[in-house]
Every structure is written in C-alpha cells, then in structure tokens.
C-alpha cells in the first residue's frame, strides 16, 4: 500500500474518532449519554454472540455492516427516533455525511463502505435485515438498562423498530424478553 493511501486511511480514522463524542439519547446505567461508538460496539458483540444461529449468513459482511451503519453520525451526530422530523430524510443526510467522511479513503474502500451502507439503509440483503434487527434490539435493551430521565417514554420502545425485529424467531424471542422489561418500566413496576 502506498503512503498516500495510508495517509488517507489515517485521516479517515482520525475523523471517525468523533463517533466516540457523538452522543445518543440512550443513557448508560450511570446516567450519562452513550456514544455512537459504544452502541456500535455492543451491536457487533450481539452479532458475535448469535453468529452460530445464522450459518447461512456471511458474518464478516454482517459485522462490516454493523461497524459502518452509523459512521455518518461522526459529522452530524445522532438524531433520536423520537426527535426525527417528518419530511426530513435522515438517511439521505447520513449518506451525505458518510460520503464526506470516507473521501480520504482509497476508492475501493469508499465504494465498499458506501455499498454496505446502502445495503443496510435499504435492508436489501439478509445480512442488512439482521443488522437492522440487532440495531433496534441493542437500542431498546440499552433503554431498559439506562438511568433514564423521569419523563422517558418507555411505551415508544414497545413499537420502535418492530418491522425489523420481527425478522425471525430468534429476534422475535429476544424482543419479547426485552419488551417484558420495557412494559414493567413503562408501568413503573421496576427499576433496572
């Protein structure tokens, strides 16, 4: 690899460090906002834990999709589902940000990342569909663990992302267990 390509990769990596600073609406168990990087880490951990359940899928591709799915947030940050504005195309904005972010990379890497991101955004492969399911699962799991504000809307989570988490029997089962905790939190019956 040429020095020019290495410099481009390092430039990209420096820019992606912002994912550690990009805060999400989700709270950790000690009450601080989690970063996009932390969300992505646990999403990838979920994939590793359930890898054997999906022998027909390309797990490396699935992990790549998970790693890159929120990269654009390094530029404009995360917009929580409850804060999204009707008529604003969040996906188009994230794609634009991603294109800026990947600009320093060699063309082959730019194309691969953009292709994987498009696949995720459109849920156009089984790997992308499962990535979306696990992405939503990670989010609602965090919402049951976080030290959330008094007015946190747990009921929103009971429908959030269901079209993705209904992917298969396993994601449905995981979702059902998390929803049980979410319902208890919504009813004020437990503190996680």
pLDDT score of 145 more than 50: yes
Q: What is the pLDDT of residue 88?
A: 65
Q: pLDDT digits over 21-78, tens only?
A: 999 989 999 999 999 999 999 999 999 999 999 999 999 999 999 999 999 999 988 7
* C-alpha pair distances (Å), 158 with each of 100, 153, 164: 35, 10, 13
pLDDT score of 191 more than 80: no
DSSP count for the chain of H helices, then E strands:
10, 2
Residue 83 or 158, more confident: 158
pLDDT score of 192 more than 50: no
pLDDT score of 82 more than 80: no
pLDDT score of 86 more than 80: no
Backbone φ, ψ for residue 113 (5° rounding): -65, -45
Least trusted range by pLDDT, from 36-40, 76-80, 82-86, 117-121: 82-86
Q: What is the pLDDT of residue 161?
A: 95
Domains of the chain: 3-186 (1.10.3210.10)
CB 132 within 8 A of CB 123: yes
Least trusted range by pLDDT, from 15-29, 87-101, 154-168: 87-101
What DSSP designation does 71 have? Answer: T
Q: What is the pLDDT of residue 1?
A: 86
**How much is the average pLDDT of 172-177?**
98
Q: Using 50, 70 and 90 to split pLDDT, how confident is the model at 84?
A: low
Average pLDDT for the chain: 93
Least trusted range by pLDDT, from 114-123, 148-157, 160-169, 183-192: 183-192
pTM: 0.93
């Amino acid at each position: 690899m040429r020095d020019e390509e290495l410099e481009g990769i390092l430039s990209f990596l420096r820019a992606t460090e912002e994912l550690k600073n990009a805060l999400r609406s989700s709270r950790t168990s000690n009450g601080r906002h989690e970063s996009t990087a932390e969300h992505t880490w646990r999403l990838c951990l979920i994939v590793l834990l359930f890898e054997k359940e999906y022998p027909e899928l390309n797990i490396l591709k699935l992990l790549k999709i998970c790693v890159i799915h929120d990269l654009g947030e390094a530029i404009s940050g995360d917009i929580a589902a409850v804060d999204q504005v009707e008529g604003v195309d969040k996906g188009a904005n994230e794609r634009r940000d991603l294109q800026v972010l990947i600009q320093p990379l060699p063309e082959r890497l730019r194309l691969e990342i953009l292709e994987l991101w498009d696949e995720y955004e459109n849920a156009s492969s089984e790997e992308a569909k499962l990535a979306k399911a696990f992405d939503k699962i990670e989010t609602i799991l965090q919402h049951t663990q976080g030290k959330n504000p008094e007015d946190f809307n747990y009921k929103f989570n009971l429908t959030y992302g269901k079209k993705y988490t209904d992917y298969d029997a396993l994601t449905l089962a995981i979702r059902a267990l998390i929803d049980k905790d979410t319902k208890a939190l919504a009813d004020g019956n437990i503190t996680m």
